[in-house]
Amino acid sequence: MTDSTSTLRRLCWVFPDRESTRTNAKWKASFWDTYAEIAKELDLSFDRVAPEAVTVDALDVRNPKTYVDGVPVTPQDTVFITSPYTLPYQSVDAFNQFTLYSVLEQAGFYLPHPSMFAPIGNDKLATLLFFKDCPLPPVPTVRVTAGRDLLFDEYMAATAHLPWPAFVKPAGWMAARGINLAHDSHDVRGLLSLAQGGDTTLVFQPYLGKGTIDFRVYVVDGRAHTTMVREPGEGAIFPQVTTGAKAYFTQTPAELLPAVEYCAEKLPIPYFCADFLYDGKQFWLSEIEPDGMIFCPDPGDPAIVEATHTLIRDRFLAYRDRHSALFAGSAVSEEASS
């Protein structure tokens, strides 16, 4: 994965510019700065821009011109990373993200995360339905949007057979935000009432039990590259750093490999994360994240740091190789036609 003939010069993340000063500093230290460092090693520039930074002049519809912060970019020199980000404070950008990604794709840019998968990957139930034939079962899920007509209790038809307790989480958020545990239908009513304040869509899933752990498989070029285990902290019901979760790299369990292969065939993109839950008895497919962030679980261990850098490097090389193959094929076609 070292194509020196590539014309790719720029990786550009389209990311809503809505972070607070403190949160932005945290994410920079966790992964953005490392991404930029690895990109520089590969002779690639690295940019993180808001959706409104990208403008397109298509007065000549057959020859659109694209700009990032007023600087021209082309499909031959730039790859846009375009997963949707829809945390509450990013919601104002959501429509522009989805439509911009489609515009960039139609303008000829290679998107490692194709626009057609954007809504599927952003909604937890849509993802699980897309991968419904996975060799490992998707987590059973009920989806309810907490909209204006919630007072009519029509959601009860869908939640009537939920086993208790049940996990409750927003359908399209990330970073373990908004996760709760419902013990009965009264909890469901209360959580939906709170979610109604933002027309938030919730998913309800069986609680798989205390001690359930999460296996994140980083998939590069269709194969399991690295696997991270995330274990809940003492007394916590799900793994989150703020509640003492432990994260570490491990060998990919053999039981996950057929499921990873299936997901890679269904979603033939150069990089994504496949998350599986293990309840002590079996694995469950939890979600797929095309832009799953890569962070170092132990910055004090040089070997772990290098393993993290290798994963990021191979991810970026996979983007470059797919981009090169696409435009090499275009060049051959143009030569043949001439």
CATH class of 1-118: alpha beta
Integer-rounded Cα radius of gyration of the chain: 21
Provide the H-helix boundaries in 29-93: 33-41
Q: One digit per residue, pLDDT tens: the chain, 338 residues?
A: 445 567 999 999 999 988 899 989 999 999 999 999 999 999 999 999 999 999 999 999 999 999 999 999 999 999 999 988 888 888 888 899 999 999 999 999 999 998 889 889 889 999 999 999 999 999 999 999 988 888 788 888 888 899 999 999 998 887 777 788 999 999 999 998 888 888 889 999 999 988 899 999 999 999 999 999 999 888 777 777 767 789 999 999 999 999 999 999 999 999 999 999 999 999 999 999 999 999 999 999 999 999 999 999 999 999 999 999 998 855 434 444 44
What is the DSSP-derived secondary structure letter of residue 53?
A: G
Whether the Cβ atoms of residue 121 and residue 263 lie closer than 8 Å to each other: no
Whether the Cβ atoms of residue 292 and residue 273 lie closer than 8 Å to each other: yes
Whether the Cβ atoms of residue 104 and residue 116 lie closer than 8 Å to each other: no
**CATH 3.30.1490.20 in the chain, residue ranges:** 142-206
Whether the Cβ atoms of residue 200 and residue 146 lie closer than 8 Å to each other: yes
DSSP-based helix, strand, coil % in the chain, nearest 5: 40, 25, 35
Q: Report whether CATH 3.30.1490.20 matches the domain 142-206.
A: yes
CATH superfamily, domain at 125-136+210-289: ATP-grasp fold, B domain (3.30.470.20)
DSSP-based three-state secondary structure for 297: coil
* DSSP annotation string for 200-215: -EEEEEE---TT-EEE
What is the DSSP-derived secondary structure letter of residue 251?
A: P
**CATH 3.40.50 in the chain, residue ranges:** 1-118
